[in-house]
Chain A
Amino acid sequence: AQSVTQPDIHITVSEGASLELRCNYSYGATPYLFWYVQSPGQGLQLLLKYFSGDTLVQGIKGFEAEFKRSQSSFNLRKPSVHWSDAAEYFCAVDDTGTASKLTFGTGTRLQVTL
């Protein structure tokens, strides 16, 4: 069975600093890959997705992610974090081709200090 690992449970960065959130998956082929953000008491908002093609994908709110097949990774990055980015971030994978039967990681909670 496929799995998704987000090794960092909690990350704290200063406002204006760069950010990288790690995500690794275990699956033989290249699945569909996603990053979602969840603010307290809210549902999930899609930040970006990778289906195929260019391995560097741009998303909303200034986020980007890079798919590295050799490392089975899909890390999320942002060059300059804003206080409003504080939230829970989830990496998700779909290997069914439907893009809607997702396996999620356990999440990384981002705290932003001023």
Chain B
Amino acid sequence: ETGVTQSPTHLIKTRGQQVTLRCSSQSGHNTVSWYQQALGQGPQFIFQYYREEENGRGNFPPRFSGLQFPNYSSELNVNALELDDSALYLCASSPSLGSEQYFGPGTRLTVT
């Protein structure tokens, strides 16, 4: 069984640019959540998708947006990048609401 995968592994962007991060959920999982982990901090919840619909959002501005596709893969889009967006972005999938999550290895985003 394939676990949660994320791409790319590392990314460097310039302030003001836009970025798309991708996540492939574990097989059979219909729920995906995205987290931002700044250096030296715990992960912070960005939003969750359940069966292609947003199902909750953390304290992040609208320039953070997402999609979940019919195959339950997912994207995180960030517009107008700021220096403070530099972080490890983690994707986590779960087989259903109420089940524990399985995390991917993350994408390290650096904004210069």
Contact = CB atoms under 8 A, between A and B. Distances in A.
Nearest to A96: B56
A26 interface: no
A37 B45 CA distance: 17
Interface string B24-46: 00000001010100001111110
Contacts of B48: 98, 100-101
A44 B103 contact: yes
Contact of A104 (B42, B55, B100): B42
Interface residues of B, number: 27
B99 A44 contact: no
A101 B33 contact: yes
B56 A98 contact: yes
A100 B42 contact: no
A90 B40 CA distance: 12
Q: How large is the interface on A (under 10, 10 to 19, 20 to 34, 35 or more residues)?
A: 20 to 34
Given A90-B43, A96-B56, A43 B33 contact: no
Contacts of B105: 41-43
B42 A99 contact: no
A106 interface: yes
A106 B38 CA distance: 10
Contacts of B94: 99-100
A101 B98 contact: no
B56 A49 contact: no
Given A43-B90, A44-B90, A107 B42 contact: yes
A104 B40 CA distance: 12
Most buried by A among B42, B55, B58, B98: B42
Nearest to A6: B42
A99 B101 contact: yes
A25 interface: no
Q: Give the 10 A-B CB pairs with smallest separation, nearest first.
A: A104-B42, A43-B103, A44-B103, A43-B105, A98-B97, A100-B101, A104-B43, A100-B33, A106-B42, A100-B94
6 contacts: A41-B105, A44-B103, A98-B97, A99-B94, A99-B101, A101-B48
